[in-house]
Chain A
Amino acid sequence: SQQGEEDPQALSIQEGENATMNCSYKTSINNLQWYRQNSGRGLVHLILIRSNEREKHSGRLRVTLDTSKKSSSLLITASRAADTASYFCVVSGGYNKLIFGAGTRLAVHP
């Protein structure tokens, strides 16, 4: 399966701490994306990193991609209670469609 698998499945931290989520996948990819889903809502696109990129930043988000290890990480710095959500690693490759993992559930406590 090409599906991205997130680790950990759940993460609980205090406000102000950094949160790191990891993703592993199995085959070659065109790009890798991270999405956020607040409880019971639609998904919001956070960041897209192409297979020839190693690191990308967007505000408090930092994404890395290691194609040799078939892995990616999402770092959220200085977390806030509003960051509480599920985060999905999404890979795309030869299927011309996105493949979603099961997600990491992040809880940020005030």
Chain B
Amino acid sequence: DGGITQSPKYLFRKEGQNVTLSCEQNLNHDAMYWYRQDPGQGLRLIYYSQIVNDFQKGDIAEGYSVSREKKESFPLTVTSAQKNPTAFYLCASSPGTSGTAEQYFGPGTRLTVT
């Protein structure tokens, strides 16, 4: 069963703690993306990776970090430096590396920091 999985679906953390969100895909896609969505808003790009061991900052990378050690995995760490981390986080992947092709999304992780 191919697709993108994100875990967990809901995550609760205390302020000041780092937290890592998981994203795995078995679609053999080269490119992977992390987005943040706030209530009633569109998606904003945090980081993206077009190839293993390489990644680029998106529009709102401050306070976040990523790694791409394997093609199928692209974990996102929300650090304590992120001022307002409570949000819905979506991971996506895409065949090819142009960044303009159709993207396939995971179900998302809702992070609440108190």
Binding site for B on A (CB under 8 A): 3, 30-31, 33, 40-45, 48, 88, 92-93, 95-98, 100-103
Contacts and interface: CB of A to CB of B under 8 A. Distances in A.
A48 B102 contact: yes
B105 A96 contact: no
B100 A98 contact: yes
Size category, B interface: 20 to 34
A97 B104 contact: no
Contacts of B107: 41-42
A33 B99 contact: no
Interface in B7-64: 33, 35, 40-45, 48, 58
Given A40-B108, A43-B92, 8 more contacts: A40-B88, A43-B90, A43-B103, A43-B105, A44-B105, A92-B99, A96-B99, A101-B42
Interface of B: 4, 6, 33, 35, 40-45, 48, 58, 88, 90, 92, 98-108, 110
Given A40-B110, A42-B106, A45-B103, A97 B58 contact: yes
B108 A42 contact: yes
26 contacts: A30-B100, A33-B102, A41-B107, A41-B108, A42-B4, A42-B6, A42-B106, A42-B107, A42-B108, A43-B103, A48-B101, A88-B43, A93-B100, A96-B98, A96-B99, A97-B33, A97-B45, A97-B58, A97-B99, A98-B100, A98-B103, A100-B42, A100-B44, A102-B40, A102-B41, A103-B42
